[in-house]
Amino acid sequence: MAGKIIGIGIGPGDPELITIKALKALKTADVICVPKSRLEKTSMALSTIKHILEEREKYPEVIELIFPMIRDESELKRLWNKNAEIVADKVKKGDTLAFVTLGDPFFYSTFIYLYHRLKEMYPEIELEIIPGITSLTACSASSKIPLAEKNETVVIIPYNIGSKQIEEMAKYADNLVFMKGTKHIKDLVPILERVGFTKNSTIIFAKRCTMPEEKVIVGKLSDVQNWDICEDYFSMTVIKRSYFQNNRE
């Protein structure tokens, strides 16, 4: 079997943040595979790399795989197995398949589900990972506020975990990062204040960093209740225990 699968991180959304190594792989792969949550939905990953594919001498085969956001574990496993079979069939024919994902392939990425299934079902298939710039570092750059400095600790938290867990983790962190959503941030303020964050602690709200719709707000924890925060899957919040003077212009 001569083919292989490459998991490619294409960054947070700005096409100029695609790495040189990722660009080379996208220009040479036989098959480009992109994820999306619903059949009728447009793949953001594909939109980000479309200009690269159009510059190729021959437009490659593109496969859109469905990775739905549902909670039915049995149905999810069935779909993940099906997707693994689809890409494995291409590799068995000798093709190099590039699976494209926003951010980094191993940081809260859809690619991880496929990776686990391939490792279990097709251990003979060669897998390569090309890392990408994450939304985490893009948020720090857009806000012009360091994510961590000196001996600061950072805890990364998905929004769907319970408030008791958040409170326990926040006790020992200098900076908190809440990934993929912002709908509960106002409810978390009193919890964070109980464990030492103050009204002057710096907070960054970032939506769709590096994308055309980017929105970044920087303020103090005491400002949050007055913010108009629209829920968006491609959003995150960073809260620094200390106060960092905002010089974002």
CA 164, distance to chain mean position in Å, is 25
Per the CB < 8 A criterion, the answer to whether 115 and 88 are in contact is no
Specify if 248 maps to a domain: no
Per the CB < 8 A criterion, the answer to whether 196 and 248 are in contact is no
Q: DSSP class of residue 63? A: E
Give the type of residue at 72.
Answer: D
d(C-alpha 215, C-alpha 207), whole Å: 5
Q: How far is CA 128 from CA 19, 64, 238, 241, in A?
A: 15, 20, 31, 38
In this structure, the answer to whether residues 125 and 149 fall within a common structural domain is: no
Specify if 157 maps to a domain: yes
In this structure, the answer to whether residues 227 and 175 fall within a common structural domain is: yes
In this structure, the answer to whether residues 23 and 112 fall within a common structural domain is: yes
Q: CATH number for the domain including 115? A: 3.40.1010.10
As to burial, measured by CB atoms within 10 angstroms (0-12 exposed, 13-18 middle, 19+ buried), residue 6 is buried
Domain with 14 in it: 4-130
Specify if 249 maps to a domain: no
Per the CB < 8 A criterion, the answer to whether 211 and 12 are in contact is yes
Q: CATH number for the domain including 192? A: 3.30.950.10
In this structure, the answer to whether residues 102 and 156 fall within a common structural domain is: no
pLDDT of residue 249: 44
In this structure, the answer to whether residues 45 and 91 fall within a common structural domain is: yes
In this structure, the answer to whether residues 111 and 149 fall within a common structural domain is: no
In this structure, the answer to whether residues 72 and 172 fall within a common structural domain is: no
Q: What is the pLDDT along the chain (249 residues), one digit of tens a residue?
A: 578 999 999 999 999 999 999 999 999 999 999 998 887 788 899 999 999 999 999 999 999 998 887 788 888 889 999 999 999 999 999 999 999 999 999 999 999 999 999 999 999 999 999 999 999 999 999 999 999 999 999 999 987 888 899 999 999 999 999 997 676 788 889 999 999 999 999 999 999 999 999 999 999 999 998 888 777 888 899 999 987 765 544
Strands of the sheet containing 61-66, edge to edge, are 61-66, 31-36, 96-101, 4-9, 126-130
d(C-alpha 32, C-alpha 60), whole Å: 7
Residue tagged 């326990």 (tokens)? 168
In this structure, the answer to whether residues 124 and 190 fall within a common structural domain is: no
* Number of domains the chain contains: 2
Specify if 83 maps to a domain: yes
pLDDT of residue 246: 59
In this structure, the answer to whether residues 164 and 235 fall within a common structural domain is: yes
As to burial, measured by CB atoms within 10 angstroms (0-12 exposed, 13-18 middle, 19+ buried), residue 99 is buried
pLDDT of residue 149: 92
pLDDT of residue 101: 96
